[in-house]
Structure 1
Amino acid sequence: MIRNYFKIAWRNLLRNKAFSAINIVGLALGVAACILILQYVAFELSYDSFHKNGAQIYRVKQDRYNDGKLSTQWAAGAYAVGNSFKDAFPEVQDYVKLLARGKSLLDYGDRSIKLEKYYLASSSFFTMFSYPLIIGNPKTALNESNTIVLSESVAKRLFGNENPLGKTVRGNKRRPLKVTGVYKDMPANTHLKAEMLVSYATFQADVKPNDPETAWQWDGCLTYIKLRPGTDTKSLEAKFPALIDKLAGADHKKYKSAAVYLLQPLKDIHLYSHLMMEAEPNGDGKTVYLLLGIAFFIVVIAWVNYINLATARAVNRAKEVGVRKAVGSLRGQLIGQFMTESVLLNGFAVVLALILVGLALPKFNEISGQQLSFALLKSKIFWIPFTALFVIGAFLSGLYPAFVLSGFKPVAVLKGKVLATRQGIVLRKSLVVFQFAASLFLLVGTLAVYQQIRFMRAQSLGINIDQTLVINPPIVADDSTYMRQLAAFKDELLRKSNIEGVTASTVVPGQASDWNAGGIRLKGTDEAVGKQYRVIGVDYDFLKTYDLKLIAGRNFSKEFGSDPKAVVFNKMAIQQLGFSNPEDAIGKEIDFWGEIFTIVGVTDNFHQQSLRDAYEPLILRLIPDLRGYFSVKLTGGEAGSIIGTIREEWNKFFPGNPFEYEYLDDRFNAQYKADQRFGQVFGIFTGLAILVACLGLFGLASFTTAQRTKEIGIRKVLGSSVFAIVEMLYREFVVLVAISFVIATPLAWYAVSQWLDGYAFKTDLQWWLFLVPFTAVLVIALLTVSFQSIKAALTNPVTSLRSE
């Protein structure tokens, strides 16, 4: 019987090639889009899922309060947290402390390599986390000071085939470090990525006699704790304030500040944490699930196509059902036959979809910024939803048509009395409305994303980043000669005709300042009124090079001997200090961690970061011998020759340091890369959704037109023009798209409004964001049905009336 089902199903597919092709291609596109998104979602959800004890590991995040108000939220908190919690709470089984560090040079013999990122890590790192050691003892590898554990790829680059265990390497040309292990390269789906780990004991030795184990006012330590199985995290969190009050309460009361510590599940960090001093830029859970919703929309639209076309063709298959029933077929057998057709058609669609995914995956990786491959097909997290997608799709898309077709009465259909029912027509129209409402919703969302990105990039930043080359800070420098090197380097560059400015700073526009200074107040005021500010260390030329607008006071100047104790505030920082008029703040002295500085200038607010973030209270603090980023303002000319000239001077004054540069506008705009990628992915899948919907509409229009052939012939005989007939055929679809617009508009408005709320500076929701998608979808829908409608209207009425 099953064999017969498949044989008949195959014959039906071949007999109705056009409708079969429309269904298979539509389903294949829907399933392919769904597979791509499922791979992306599966990868994002898989972050840090490989840790054996991942469910017991939490990161301790820190919320800082000033005078009872939340001021900052940190991924990295006080240094004393891990050991203090372990000693005080039996629920805490173990802890790991990590201090993030940037670029470094590593030498062994005559080999030298540059590393992008590493961590100082406490001794429990390899016993808590499941990063496998290839060489070394996970329990002791990070116990001693001046020891280092390398990633497999770094060890290969530095030692080749030589066993690195016990060898001594040199960090930044100075510090000897003993290799105590090699770990497998950290996978892409972890929020901790490091090319090497240096023991935390090394840091402890460096800061003596200070003890970081009791430091509650030092911020910047990432702390992870492993809880005993069955621990209630909320109950444990409730115990933290009493301990903090006991150990650090005096300082908190003194400054009217407080630190609140909360637990973040390890698996939630990548998608749901966007705090200061994150280990790396994290993903966005809302975006991931929104893409999952798009995948659902597309595949449902494809299933709707199948249901629409199958039920629309019910009249053509009525006699087949009548004959089958007349010769003894039961309704259950007929349902089995039509479900088999659905399974067969969905099966072909899945095969075609896998081929399309294979072809599209490289381009999708380029757009999404991920490195997905079919290796993910080995994962349960992919196959479970994919199998469910196929089974549910084949079942749901085939179930309704099967019941409709199998329900025909044999006597009626054999007499030719089967007509399309009102319920069937309403269902088909409702499904078309759903398809186009979903398409309109997605199209509005796509336009809103692009409009917001365009808005952010078009706004004035309040700071000039054009024609600016940024050079990464020197890694190796002699402290005793650095000031002279710095001055000579700047002087040499400024002698070049195509360089008009050079400045050094701790960060450049587009970077968050991790220098967060609390307790800053006017000299002579109570310590309790101190507030938190972001601080950027700059040299004398920062304001001039970046064309920062002074609204009060003056720039830093070497003519004033006291300027090394000078600061410039931005407008927001002045307001936080208590001044509504910037002029009133000039000359005032502030207490900055026990040192007295004078406010010499106030700048207008400027965007240090993207327009996603609100203005922050910023202090520009003069540090003449600053070892930071170099910003070189260019005036034009041949880029290659300018860069070559700068490289020569760099190698002369900072030998042994890699010359790494980028254009600042590229660096700044990279902040919008995630939004741009999201917009591109959103746009591509929106286009696919519209294409799939139009495929179904084309098939439905073809069938509807064929059903009205005789009516069209009669109308032409009675004098209707071609235009009138085409208008009649268009009218139905125009009404359906209009209803879709009415449904989609409020939903899209709400969704886009919610999304825009995540931006401090955002575009307005304008009327054209909704009208343009409606017009586009309407035109696409009419073009889709035009071929069949015009063809039918031009057909000779004699041919139409002879159809029976």
Structure 2
Amino acid sequence: MLRNYIKTAFRSLLKNKGFSIINILGLAIGIASFVLIALYVNHELSYDRFNQKADRIFRIVENLRTENEMLFQSTSSPPMGPALASQMPEVDKFVRMQDWSFLVRKGDVSVFEEGCLLSDSSVFDIFSFPLLEGNPKKALTEPYSIVLTTSTAKKYFGDEPPLGKTLNMNGEEYKVTGLVADVPENSHIRFNMLVSFRTWSDQVNQPMNNMWFWNGFHTYLLLKEGEGQVEKLRAKMPDFITRNIEKGGMYYEDLPLQPLTSIYLETPRSWENGKRGSQNNIYTLSIIAGFILLIACFNYINLATARASRRLKEVGLRKVLGAQRRALVYQFLGESIIVSILATCMGFMLAALVLPVFNTLVETPLVFSLFPGSLTTWGGFVLIALVLGLLSGVYPALVISGFQPLQIFRGAPQSIFGHNGLRKMLVSVQFVISIVLLAGTLIVFEQLDLLRSRDLGFVKEATLLIRNNGDRAMVDRWETVKGELLKVPGVLSAAACSTVPGEPSNNLYATIEMEDGKLSPSNINTNFIDSDFLPAYGIEIIAGRNFIKGSRADDTTAFIINETAVKDFGWKPEQALGKKVDQNGKRGTIIGVVKDYHYQSLHHQVAPLILQENKWAYSTLSLKIRSDDMQTIIKSIGIKWKDLTNNLPYRYSFLDEEYDRLYKADAQLGKVAGIFAGLAIAVGCLGLLGLTSFSVERRVKEIGIRKVLGATLGNIVLIISKEFVGLILLSFVIAIPITWFLITRWLDNFTDKVTIGPINFIVAGLSVLTIAWITISYLSFKAANSNPTKALRNE
């Protein structure tokens, strides 16, 4: 009996090749889209879960209250970890981390090494970073000791054993005490080498017990095993803060605990470390994947119920011969599962073929193997095939098997055509989804255009950035290097700073004089700049003055703040001038106020900012260059740079490109959403093609009679297409509020956002309507041009 069912199923598929191809192709595209997005979502959700103790690892973060604002920081202070480990029985171990970079010299070669991580020796007890060589208990206990990843060790030492060898970094000799495996790609903590924490503590050379507001480290805790440890520790935090940290003008309101596995996708706090994903993008892409698969399933249901009219006599005859309804349901469900298996095979192969392109699009190394294939892959294959087959086939199977033989052979009015209402509803849902995806994608691209064209308050075009590579010899040579580079043809200006717009600024403790003469403590974003920075970037001074080049007084006592800081302190710009500031041991007064400029991304409001001179903090040289013949200018700058800096690495980038990377996740979402919106429309039109074909076939005699009675080609096309066009118009009306709701939630991530106007909905609706009209018109014209005598001659 089973073999008979399978034979019948394949005969039915071959007999209706057009419907079968549309069904299988539509489902295959839906499955391929679903698989690709599922791979990406699964990868994003897997971050940090490779750590064996991940469920017990938490990061300490800070909710810091100042007199003017609330700061939500991912960082913590040096004494935080040791104090919690010694005072809280729930804490087993702690590790403090901080990103560093070094100028590494080996022989005549100089390399600027980023991704160096200052760390306590307990890092190997907490995280699953396997140490391949060296003693995990001692590798990071001594100052100036480093642990290299395998790829970094190979870069500097080739195939030689690295243990015991030294590297000259920033003029100091560091000893290699360990070799660790390369960090897994799905870790939010990234590094090329680990540097012992004692290196920093010995350099600071002062007790850390009272550094409660030196918030420059990321602290992770390993809690002891047992239930309820997290809740117990959280409950004790208020008492811990009261006991250890004096409450003044700035104080800790809370020290939340972030689970390790949630850090990657949680809303970023200030001064985040490592890689970050986007929870909103995960939700959006998951919805898109579900939508496309839903459209494909609706196509199957529509086409299966429409095609059933051809099989009514088969059903009637089987019932007369004694077939029970259950057997017919099994047969039609079997056909549905066979179609689903074929579509799943095709979908998985499509996903494997386009995966390299998808990886390039999302910049993620996803892996999907069919042969030999993993248990997960084949388990997913069977699950998708069965679930889709059952979901898509259960309704058509029940409908087809439910007709009585007398109704079929007597030509009773109740027939499969009585289910037009359901098919119309499913078609409407398909086009609602298509319009939502297309309109949403258009608004995403419009928002990205706004971000690129927004007046940021500074000039970012044609700005070449050169890093000083941590060379201490540059401290006393900034002005000389700038002056010589200005002689290069095409270089218009040169300025030095610690951070450029788009990079995280330093967040430093400061006390600022208020109107009543009292000093208000606050952590405030800080950038160290020279006197050429503001004019080079076109940043406007609205009160006071700029730093004076070569002025000893400005170098040691002058500060400049931005408009937002002025507003937060309750002043007018002119009132800020002369106010006293004490920051990091530098005492002086405010000499100027600059107009707000977006030194962070437009995801954030402009925050208070203080600017000061400090040649020891400069790390980047900004050169404004002519936009014509840029390659020649860049090459000339490189030659001059190496002559001036004793062959330091010439690492350059462009400010506009670096700033645009702040919206990388948003741009990726726009591209991916656009592609899958197109696929959703394509799958919907495949179903529409099949339904139109069925509609034309059902009305072939009507068309013939109308033509004989004088109906024109346009009349017939209009008659066939008007019901589908009406459904699309209805879908357009339904899609508008859904799109508005979803896109408004997404736009909440930006401080500057586009206005959602009618034009995006009109363009999306007209696009879908045009594509659908072309699909319908193709079959309509074909039917209208056929010979009416053939239709009227055949019964």
**TM-score, normalised via structure 2 length:** 0.96
Residue in 1 that maps onto 2:40 = 40
- 1:452-472 CA distance string (max 9 Å, x none): 001111111110112110001
Q: 2:317 matched to 1:319?
A: no
Paired AA for residue 374 in structure 1: F
Q: How does 1:625-664 map to 2 (within 5 A)?
A: 626-664=617-655
Q: CA deviation at 1:511?
A: 1.4
- 1:383-424 CA distance string (max 9 Å, x none): 766654332111110111111111121233234446545751
Paired AA for residue 92 in structure 2: Q
Q: CA deviation at 1:695?
A: 0.1
Query: Separation in 2 of the partners of 1:647 and 1:289?
Result: 45
Residue in 1 that maps onto 2:362 = 368
Residue in 2 that maps onto 1:389 = 384
Residue in 1 that maps onto 2:544 = 553
Q: 2:741 matched to 1:746?
A: no
Q: How does 1:124-143 map to 2 (within 5 A)?
A: 124-143=122-141
Residue in 2 that maps onto 1:477 = 472
**Alignment match of 1:170 (pick from 158, 168, 171):** 168
**Alignment match of 2:759 (pick from 746, 765, 768):** 768
- Answer whether contact 1:42 1:382 (CA < 8 A) is retained: no
SS for the counterpart of 1:295 is helix
Q: 2:261 matched to 1:267?
A: yes
Paired AA for residue 673 in structure 1: K
**Alignment match of 1:589 (pick from 576, 580, 597):** 580
Query: Separation in 2 of the partners of 1:106 and 1:418?
Result: 86
Q: How does 1:346-365 map to 2 (within 5 A)?
A: 346-365=340-359
Give the 3 Å change call, closer, same or farther, for CA 553–382 of structure 1 in structure 2. farther
Query: Separation in 2 of the partners of 1:664 and 1:113?
Result: 22
Query: Separation in 2 of the partners of 1:558 and 1:380?
Result: 68
Paired AA for residue 572 in structure 1: T
Which stretch has the larger CA shift, 563-572 or 435-444?
Answer: 563-572
Residue in 2 that maps onto 1:248 = 245
Q: CA deviation at 1:10?
A: 1.2
Which stretch has the larger CA shift, 418-427 or 649-658?
Answer: 418-427
- Answer whether contact 2:529 2:618 (CA < 8 A) is retained: no
Query: Separation in 1 of the partners of 2:3 and 2:235?
Result: 65
- Answer whether contact 1:709 1:792 (CA < 8 A) is retained: yes
- Answer whether contact 1:591 1:597 (CA < 8 A) is retained: yes
Query: Separation in 2 of the partners of 1:70 and 1:596?
Result: 23
Q: CA deviation at 1:366?
A: 1.1
RMSD, aligned α-carbons: 2.1
- Answer whether contact 1:521 1:531 (CA < 8 A) is retained: no
Query: Separation in 2 of the partners of 1:602 and 1:389?
Result: 62
Which stretch has the larger CA shift, 82-91 or 723-732?
Answer: 723-732
Residue in 2 that maps onto 1:455 = 450
Query: Separation in 1 of the partners of 2:376 and 2:84?
Result: 35
Q: How does 1:607-618 map to 2 (within 5 A)?
A: 607-618=598-609
Residue in 2 that maps onto 1:16 = 16
- 1:261-310 CA distance string (max 9 Å, x none): 10111110111141122112410112112211111110111011111000
Residue in 1 that maps onto 2:511 = 519
Residue in 2 that maps onto 1:288 = 282
Query: Separation in 2 of the partners of 1:593 and 1:40?
Result: 45
Query: Separation in 1 of the partners of 2:59 and 2:240?
Result: 18
Query: Separation in 1 of the partners of 2:583 and 2:136?
Result: 43
Q: 2:501 matched to 1:505?
A: no
Query: Separation in 2 of the partners of 1:559 and 1:131?
Result: 49
Which stretch has the larger CA shift, 397-406 or 139-148?
Answer: 139-148
SS for the counterpart of 1:316 is helix
Which stretch has the larger CA shift, 517-526 or 162-171?
Answer: 517-526
Query: Separation in 2 of the partners of 1:184 and 1:140?
Result: 17
Which stretch has the larger CA shift, 682-691 or 141-150?
Answer: 141-150
Q: CA deviation at 1:597?
A: 2.1
Residue in 2 that maps onto 1:465 = 460
Paired AA for residue 123 in structure 1: S
SS for the counterpart of 2:183 is coil
Q: 2:727 matched to 1:736?
A: yes
Residue in 2 that maps onto 1:257 = 251
- 1:560-604 CA distance string (max 9 Å, x none): 552222122211111122213x22323333333554322222221
- Answer whether contact 2:478 2:496 (CA < 8 A) is retained: no
Paired AA for residue 571 in structure 2: F
Q: CA deviation at 1:82?
A: 0.9
Residue in 1 that maps onto 2:76 = 77
- 1:465-506 CA distance string (max 9 Å, x none): 12110001232223xxx4442221111112233112100001
Q: 2:154 matched to 1:156?
A: yes
Which stretch has the larger CA shift, 223-232 or 773-782?
Answer: 223-232
Question: May I ask how many residue pairs the two structures share in their alignment?
Answer: 792
Which stretches in structure 2 are left out of the alignment for 5+ residues? none
Which stretch has the larger CA shift, 611-620 or 22-31?
Answer: 611-620
- Answer whether contact 2:459 2:537 (CA < 8 A) is retained: yes
Give the 3 Å change call, closer, same or farther, for CA 419–701 of structure 1 in structure 2. farther
Give the 3 Å change call, closer, same or farther, for CA 384–551 of structure 1 in structure 2. farther
Residue in 1 that maps onto 2:714 = 723
- Answer whether contact 2:340 2:386 (CA < 8 A) is retained: no
Residue in 2 that maps onto 1:667 = 658
- Answer whether contact 1:539 1:626 (CA < 8 A) is retained: no
- 1:602-660 CA distance string (max 9 Å, x none): 22111112222211111121224543110001134422322222222221232252110
Query: Separation in 1 of the partners of 2:86 and 2:290?
Result: 49
Query: Separation in 1 of the partners of 2:138 and 2:583?
Result: 41
Q: CA deviation at 1:109?
A: 6.0
- Answer whether contact 1:517 1:535 (CA < 8 A) is retained: no
Give the share of equivalent positions with the same residue, in percent: 39
Query: Separation in 2 of the partners of 1:25 and 1:707?
Result: 23
Query: Separation in 2 of the partners of 1:376 and 1:625?
Result: 56
Query: Separation in 2 of the partners of 1:290 and 1:278?
Result: 23
Query: Separation in 1 of the partners of 2:414 and 2:483?
Result: 90
SS for the counterpart of 1:652 is helix
Give the 3 Å change call, closer, same or farther, for CA 590–121 of structure 1 in structure 2. closer
Q: 2:91 matched to 1:92?
A: yes
Residue in 2 that maps onto 1:54 = 54
- Answer whether contact 1:42 1:381 (CA < 8 A) is retained: no
- Answer whether contact 1:522 1:590 (CA < 8 A) is retained: no
Query: Separation in 2 of the partners of 1:729 and 1:94?
Result: 73
SS for the counterpart of 2:492 is strand
Query: Separation in 1 of the partners of 2:105 and 2:602?
Result: 41
- Answer whether contact 1:39 1:382 (CA < 8 A) is retained: no
Residue in 2 that maps onto 1:570 = 562
Paired AA for residue 633 in structure 2: I
SS for the counterpart of 1:782 is helix
Which stretch has the larger CA shift, 138-147 or 45-54?
Answer: 138-147
Residue in 2 that maps onto 1:797 = 788
SS for the counterpart of 1:180 is strand
- Answer whether contact 1:192 1:280 (CA < 8 A) is retained: yes
Which stretches in structure 1 are left out of the alignment for 5+ residues? none
SS for the counterpart of 2:477 is helix
